[in-house]
Structure 1
Amino acid sequence: MHKKDLIYIIDDDRDICDLACSELEYYGYDIRVFNTGTLALQALRGMTPALCIIDLGLPDMDGMALVKALSDKPDVGVLILSGRGSLPDRVLGLELGGDDYITKPFEPRDLVARVHSLMRRLGLSQENRTPGRGVRKAQFAQWLYIPTTLTLSHSSGKNYTLSTAEGDLLNTLLGSNKQILSRDRLLGEQAIPYDRSIDSRMSRLRKKIEDNPKEPQIIKTVYGAGYIFAVDVSWIE
């Protein structure tokens, strides 16, 4: 029997929780609801969900702090569901580790579609975690990258663990190497008008993989168009 994907909903609005829970359970997800950040953090120490849906206005902590804490868990996706709809809040939420952002009020089917998309894009579904299935790894410019663990290893011995947002960015670049990708394409469904957060995310990634981030040779800027992953990529299992 196929194991259901586990999702945590962390929100103190019971009506919102009931609506989201009902809709997601209908589409086959296993849902746990927590009305405080503290309870969610306690649960995370015992069982790791595929995805956390987080309200920023929690009664016991700022939801942004919870988003940031989850950025250290590369195998957990983060979808922010909040009444804070301002551009600064959206950009900050994504920069701190959120993988997508939905403002309240929301359409239940939109929430389901976003969840489905994140599961596919980040490889969070149980289908992608089947024991015995080969783990794909990318090799480029003396680097070995494992998407499932977000780990980067260099032949010189350097090792990094990427944030979920950095890993998502690298996955997109690796999948379209030697193609020019616009900022909107790289942001995908997170795209916000005038959002420049992709630039800072790109800067952090370059600092890890480039010999000289000020003169990048792996991820090059194409001025006025976007970025291009300029080296060969090979995938192994």
Structure 2
Amino acid sequence: MKNDRTALVTGANKGIGLHIARLLAAEGLTVLVGSRDPGRGERAAAEIGGRARPLTLDVTDPRSVARAAESVGHLDVLVNNAGISPALGPPTETSVEELRLTYETNVFGVLAVTNAFLPALRRSPRPRIVNVSSGTASLHWSTHPNPQFPPGSARSAAYRSSKAALNALTVFYGLTLADEGFKVNALAPGRRATDLIGTPMPDAGDPAEAAEGAVRLALLPDDGPTGAFFSWDGSAVPW
């Protein structure tokens, strides 16, 4: 399968991002494998094969973002996947520095990359943006029984609040860009076996399964939703 569409996946040299890039390449898209480390990006692109190619991109470095955007003239799909979770405690045990570090990647980085690549996306007849969020960002699930974490848990406050902020940005981008044909949505990938928090998570699932949900949103038809929050299996997630 081959087409003329191009996708960029940030943080695509490992984890869910690597699987998203692989599946988009399998759909025939040219895939830009975004990675802070050039060597890791090159190895990931070579592993994916086909029309995958590396793109050095540090979402927290304005100069890196600008250079990457200048090198891409046309873009159909942007998957904001890069994310970190350096602090695992509740807000009472989280420092300002840890919160700022988390937001630099998970929120400010998404804003910087999205705005930098908007000119390229606007050249697409069907521009799509997918923001990889988290079910733990759902304020409803944080205050009601839910499948994500024990009731009353306030752990990983930096990560979860950053993803809640990302969800808000998703809504606002969806509203702002709707008249231009953009589809902007957030994905809750579920608990996956990645190195996001540095240690294995119990009962974590296959990252490839989550990637399938991201690809569905990346390839939405013209009558698809925008400004919405979906689980990896396609079901709606409450804000």
TM-score normalised by L of structure 1 = 0.43
Structure having the higher strand fraction is 1
Q: Larger radius of gyration, structure 1 or 2?
A: 1
TM-score normalised by L of structure 2 = 0.43
Structure having the higher helix fraction is 2
